[in-house]
Structure 1
């Protein structure tokens, strides 16, 4: 496990000859060597990989059992200099009983043996004919490969601080898998040695089973099944190998391959520890029996320069187009359903929204339109108000009007220049001043207009600010920070953009679609400073606070994974290689940390709004933080990276 909590694991599917123990262990040794060269720290082989799973009644023959024990001993010795831990499957006698076992070994030493608990005897499975269940065995010793090792289902293993447990094939399919108890007892990684034959439709179910068990146990789950070499007399084995982490498949093998496969991934144990700390339900489930933890130190091997793990630069936005479309539809429904419920509760048939011609107000308006349609209300009850100010450009002004007209809502225009100039005179602000007072006065004037119109009309002010702005505090306190219901409050800027694009792509009206596409192409800006001489936007948000794609990346992994500055930089530099260098990442992370801590007071007073994802900053929902919390510890860690 490295300094950032990543553990490199592998599922190894070697060539196999049924009953040919020497050949099988030779292939295991070769794959173990390859795994070591790739920096793998723990690798697992398929169920009964030493003999082959499909040996049938040959498994009762002493000749095969002796050969398996001898060949396994040679494997242990052959891999003794490799800096990794290995898990192999073989049949072992204990007294007069035969067990289907997983043996853990490293540095020439067998550390422990775990017997299979659930022995299937239905359909194509005949395991009770040969094997006994190991359920309930604990505190015993077994002879294997000339050594004596701990034997039982109560064993977990700790390699250089990474604790893992083992279950075998059918164990996973049981109503109460052993891995549930192992995880509750402390194991963060589960290895499954399997020999599961392929039938139509089974693979999809297997993927769901593995991913769900990793999610349920808040663990990494490494599943390794037998491949092409197993007998095809009645069954076909396709070499399924899957590595999952907390519900997500990180890596998987190519099925139906005639080649050996080594599936490698870095699993994030630090994140799993964070998830277990924050998940109170998991803590309440810690009713596992007493486990025996076998600890070992393995010399550090070769860690690959690159992570065997995909780092998604856009964690809020699915890469796959179909999943992204589904995500947009679901988020849009949650937003509109929440607003519809609030309108129904307050008996409001009117909604008031400030429309700037920017992304956030566009999304809020689209949500309001769907909510009104859902409730069967006239869209004219949506009062879209555009409030041109000192920085409003012709482009955003035109887009605001065209969008409202295209959607069939009530259009109002209330300029704020004269009111702001009078306010500046009243408070003694010089005409040439361009300070925060100059900018914030405009935002507060707009909010006052919206609130007062809502009072006049018996309506509800719909907020437009998004999650990214809340994280950075990029909003005027008691200005655009305030509303009566904030529909975008848990939608990050990167997702706002995709939601608007998704609506544009599905829009039936060509003019509205063109307007939406132009809004998407417009730089993000509060437009509070006068435009350039050519009429273009002078104030670009991302020039001032940094790229939103970086801030959304920081926000997601800071809140959802509990990462500190060092790990955030480490991952961001890899995720954004080619677009943001290390210096830029560190610079904008510093901005994120400072603003996130200093602007909490705005979030502490934020209005209601629907939660749409796993990351939100509502003080009544997922995030509790005092407004005067210090950022020094995080900034100090960041400074050490410079």
Structure 2
């Protein structure tokens, strides 16, 4: 066929893509495939020619050792075959492919009940939260398929972050690239993705369909933000963040361009995207784990106040139970502010004093402590009494205890093991104390009446475990502490590099020692939503016992 005739044939012809930015629960293959079926039918009925699902959507991401289950291959094959009656729309589905060559992170091309082809991910990330080399074999071939005059290339997530795969597709004649992704949230990540897509598109003169997962899975949150990007790097369509959404984009084959979105989604500030991530992370963890609700130990301080707001926004006030557990060092201000916030958010609120519990424990320990001086042990008994009460309520009524420790406290061990660390999910685990203040002010700005009493934000933070106690009695000012912690934890800088920035050497040395010494506590801590570049847990793992020198 001559080029002139081909041009005439394609004139006015377009393909409509549906980007299925959806949550697919890990391990729930049957419900995931039913969700795909429903979305495919909806997209087809709305005129879509091709629907694209996220990376490993069939099994959910990250599936971890579910990939090692002997029945995986049969379950996947049965699920894919159940789509045989879906006609008149092409489905690109992320799934685990298992055959005698190995196990692959793959994309299937399904049309009119037939699997027309598949692509295996070539670059397997093994950094940060990713552990794909433990499970997958490396794909080695580019895959293109022709559909209605358009040659489409396939990539999966990390493949796009490397230069070679998309260049190879271009060299082999691709007109457009579809990339499926399970890219977890971290602050500022969407701007990084957009910059990458612009560069890959312009460097190769290729339009890109980018589909990302959405929703919470354990300590990860996927924030969506799926996009259709023109060959010149312009974003033609973008899906809203943190929401399930079926995004449509029509591609004109002759001009090689997408139509343009009428109304772009709301752009989120740093505080708003972090807050949304925390809400989604808690919401999906609680709901998918089957808990009836959550319990928060409300102290009158800013950490528990922000945690309570996030819990209500995630689950609704009817599923949140606040418990104030005063002792003789609890101030009247704390009692007033905790009650005021509970009333403002309309949550169930109970006051449960711990005087008798602490007295009973001290009486039991008195013969053993008779020759020992009082120290932080007695303070920790208070925290552990509170932890015991919260866990007893959880045990009795089936609600998940959510802890309130922030990243600054978790970093330096300013917390009590089996006390305020007792619980199943730590909402602020990856949020530094300075960020806690910023998020509290952000949440208050969303409504005419403060949901967090102003006094909670402005007064000096205290654990209230002894008379007139202040956090800064034991820790540097949080502005300084957080700056040191970010350099040491997030940026992996050492003692010499941090002190070269002008920080007091003794303060840096003490902070690093506290971080290193507290690893055993963090290893036993509840999980919490990752929002930073480097979170405690699967992303930052250090030996509990080691002889590493601070200044080496």
What TM-score does the superposition give when structure 1 sets the normalisation length? 0.44
Match of 2:321 in 1: 383
Match of 1:627 in 2: 544
In the alignment, the residues of structure 2 paired with residue 407 and residue 345 of structure 1 have an alpha-carbon distance, to the nearest angstrom, of 24
Decide which of 491, 495, 506 is 1:561's aligned counterpart. Answer: 491
In the alignment, the residues of structure 2 paired with residue 180 and residue 610 of structure 1 have an alpha-carbon distance, to the nearest angstrom, of 31
Match of 1:458 in 2: 398
Decide which of 474, 491, 511 is 1:592's aligned counterpart. Answer: 511
* Cα pair distance change 1:208/1:558, threshold 3 Å: closer
Q: Which has the larger radius of gyration?
A: 1
* Alpha-carbon shift at residue 496 of structure 1 (Å): 0.7
* Alpha-carbon shift at residue 383 of structure 1 (Å): 1.0
- Secondary structure, counterpart of 1:331 in structure 2: helix
Decide which of 380, 394, 398 is 2:336's aligned counterpart. Answer: 398
In the alignment, the residues of structure 2 paired with residue 408 and residue 431 of structure 1 have an alpha-carbon distance, to the nearest angstrom, of 48
* Alpha-carbon shift at residue 504 of structure 1 (Å): 1.5
In the alignment, the residues of structure 2 paired with residue 523 and residue 215 of structure 1 have an alpha-carbon distance, to the nearest angstrom, of 47
Decide which of 546, 550, 559 is 2:476's aligned counterpart. Answer: 546
* Alpha-carbon shift at residue 345 of structure 1 (Å): 1.9
* Alpha-carbon shift at residue 560 of structure 1 (Å): 2.8
* Cα pair distance change 1:208/1:346, threshold 3 Å: closer
* Alpha-carbon shift at residue 349 of structure 1 (Å): 2.4
Q: Residue 597 of structure 1 contacts residue 630 of structure 1 at CA under 8 Å; is this kept in 2?
A: no
> What count of residue pairs does the alignment treat as equivalent?
300
Q: Residue 402 of structure 2 contacts residue 425 of structure 2 at CA under 8 Å; is this kept in 1?
A: yes
Match of 1:331 in 2: 274
Q: Which structure 1 segments of 5+ residues have no match?
A: 1-175, 182-206, 217-321, 374-378, 531-537, 574-581, 638-642
In the alignment, the residues of structure 2 paired with residue 561 and residue 541 of structure 1 have an alpha-carbon distance, to the nearest angstrom, of 25
Q: Residue 475 of structure 2 contacts residue 481 of structure 2 at CA under 8 Å; is this kept in 1?
A: no
Match of 1:435 in 2: 375
* Alpha-carbon shift at residue 629 of structure 1 (Å): 2.4
* Cα pair distance change 1:381/1:625, threshold 3 Å: same
Decide which of 369, 375, 395 is 2:312's aligned counterpart. Answer: 369
Listed one character per residue, the Cα deviations across residues 129-177 of structure 1 (whole Å, up to 9, x for unaligned) are: xxxxxxxxxxxxxxxxxxxxxxxxxxxxxxxxxxxxxxxxxxxxxxx9x
Mapping for residues 271-286 of structure 1, pairs under 5 Å:
none
Q: Residue 321 of structure 2 contacts residue 347 of structure 2 at CA under 8 Å; is this kept in 1?
A: yes
* Cα pair distance change 1:384/1:433, threshold 3 Å: farther
Match of 1:524 in 2: 461
Listed one character per residue, the Cα deviations across residues 290-342 of structure 1 (whole Å, up to 9, x for unaligned) are: xxxxxxxxxxxxxxxxxxxxxxxxxxxxxxxx99x712211111111111112
* Alpha-carbon shift at residue 209 of structure 1 (Å): 11
* Alpha-carbon shift at residue 210 of structure 1 (Å): 12
* Cα pair distance change 1:465/1:431, threshold 3 Å: farther
Match of 1:343 in 2: 286
In the alignment, the residues of structure 2 paired with residue 463 and residue 474 of structure 1 have an alpha-carbon distance, to the nearest angstrom, of 14
* Alpha-carbon shift at residue 432 of structure 1 (Å): 11
Q: Which structure 2 segments of 5+ residues have no match?
A: 1-158, 165-190, 201-265
In the alignment, the residues of structure 2 paired with residue 369 and residue 496 of structure 1 have an alpha-carbon distance, to the nearest angstrom, of 17
* Alpha-carbon shift at residue 400 of structure 1 (Å): 0.8
Q: Residue 528 of structure 1 contacts residue 539 of structure 1 at CA under 8 Å; is this kept in 2?
A: yes
Listed one character per residue, the Cα deviations across residues 75-115 of structure 1 (whole Å, up to 9, x for unaligned) are: xxxxxxxxxxxxxxxxxxxxxxxxxxxxxxxxxxxxxxxxx
In the alignment, the residues of structure 2 paired with residue 553 and residue 208 of structure 1 have an alpha-carbon distance, to the nearest angstrom, of 23
Mapping for residues 261-340 of structure 1, pairs under 5 Å:
326-340=269-283
Task: State the 4+ residue runs in structure 1 displaced beyond 6 angstroms.
Answer: 207-211, 213-216
* Cα pair distance change 1:449/1:625, threshold 3 Å: same
Match of 1:495 in 2: 435
In the alignment, the residues of structure 2 paired with residue 359 and residue 382 of structure 1 have an alpha-carbon distance, to the nearest angstrom, of 17
Mapping for residues 35-54 of structure 1, pairs under 5 Å:
none
Matched, 1:359 2:311: no
Q: Residue 545 of structure 1 contacts residue 588 of structure 1 at CA under 8 Å; is this kept in 2?
A: no
Mapping for residues 2-401 of structure 1, pairs under 5 Å:
212=196, 326-373=269-316, 379-401=317-339
In the alignment, the residues of structure 2 paired with residue 500 and residue 351 of structure 1 have an alpha-carbon distance, to the nearest angstrom, of 20
- Secondary structure, counterpart of 2:281 in structure 1: helix
* Alpha-carbon shift at residue 499 of structure 1 (Å): 0.3
In the alignment, the residues of structure 2 paired with residue 348 and residue 626 of structure 1 have an alpha-carbon distance, to the nearest angstrom, of 33
CA RMSD for the aligned pairs?
3.0
* Alpha-carbon shift at residue 507 of structure 1 (Å): 2.3
- Secondary structure, counterpart of 1:611 in structure 2: coil
* Alpha-carbon shift at residue 213 of structure 1 (Å): 9.7
Q: Residue 391 of structure 1 contacts residue 529 of structure 1 at CA under 8 Å; is this kept in 2?
A: yes
